[in-house]
Structure 1
Amino acid sequence: MIKIEGKYNTAKVFTDNIESEARAQIMELCNQEFVKDSIIRIMPDTHAGAGCTIGTTMTITDKIVPNLVGVDIGCGMETIKLKQKNIDLKKLDKVIYNCIPSGFDIRKKQHKYSENIDFHSLVCKNFVNLERARLSIGTLGGGNHFIEVNKDNYGALYLVVHSGSRHLGKQVAEYYQELAYKELTDINRL
C-alpha cells in the first residue's frame, strides 16, 4: 500500500504497483479543495481513466462531481461460492467464450432477464440507445472486466464476475455531464 499526499487530502492506494498516469490523476484529485474532508481509497486494480482513476472510492456527501463517477456507472463485481470443489477450467472457458459476448460485442437477441429491467424509467431514455442496452444485458464488456474462478485457503471455489454498464453507462454519463456543464455555464452567465 502507498499513500499519495496532495494539497487537500491523502489517498491510500491498495497496491504498490501503479502506473505514472494513474498516480498523477490521484495527485490531481488530492489537490482539489472539494475532497478536503473525504476519505479516499484507491482499489488494487487502479489504472488511469477518463476524469479520474479507475478504482477510486471516496466519501463525498455534499457535492456532485459527475466526472468522478465516470462512464461506467454500473461497474461492479459479483462473487458466488461454487458447490463444486473441482472444475474443468477449459470447459468453463469455452462456455464463457461461446455464450457471453464481451468487448464491444452484444447479443443478437435479448437475454431472458432483460425483461426484468425497466429501461423506460431512465430520465434520459430519449437520449440513449435502448435497443443496444437491452441486447447488452448478460454481456461482459472489455477493459478490466473479467470472469474468473478463485480458490480460497480452504479449497472452496468462487466465480468472480467484474462487468460494467456497457455502452448505456457511457451514454447516461455523457447526458448528465452535458446537462451539468450547461447548468454551470448558465449560472456563470448570471
Structure 2
Amino acid sequence: MNQVEPSIKRSCALFTTCSNEISSRTKAMHIQECKAYSSGDYLSQGFGSSTHDSFGQRLPLHQQMRICKSEAATKKVDAIYRGKLSNWCFQVADHCQIDHETVGIAISYLDRFLSTKLGNPALQCRKTFQLATMTSLYMAVKIFEHEVIEPSEFALISRGVCTEKDITDMEMNILFALGW
C-alpha cells in the first residue's frame, strides 16, 4: 500500500498541473479570440460619410457616386436592412446548398468589416452594403465550402447590383480591413 501512495500522489500532481495548464491555455485563447474577432456596434455609432476615404481624404465626386446612384441606394443601413440581407444570405445558401454555418461566418466577416473605417461607406449606401454582404458570403464559401461559387455567379445572383470586378475589389477591401 505504501508503494501505491507515491504513484497516486504523482498522478494527482500531474493531473493538477495538466488541468491548470489547460485552464490557462483556454483563458489565453478566449482572450485572443475576443480581441481578434470582435466587432463594434456599428449600427448605433455615428460613422462618417461615404464621401471620404479611410484616411479622411475627400473622394472625387465620380467615386462617391459610382455605386450610390439612386436615392433609395443612399439610405443609411439600419438593423432592419441588415436583417433583410442576412435573410437573403440564408436564401442563397438554401438555393446553392451552402451550409448555414458558412452564412454565420460570412455575417461575422461583414460585421467585423463594417466595424472598421474601411467599412464606413457601406453603412452610408445600401448598394455598397449589399456588395459587402455578397462579398462576405463569397469569401466564406470560398474558404469553408467544398465547391466554390465564382464571383461571376454571385454577380448573376445580385441581379445587376454588382459586377464580378466589384466583388473582387470589395474582397480586397475586406481582407485589408480585417488585417488578413
Q: TM-score range by the shorter chain?
A: under 0.3
* Structure with a larger share of its residues in helix: 2
Larger radius of gyration: 2
Normalised by the length of structure 2, the TM-score is 0.27
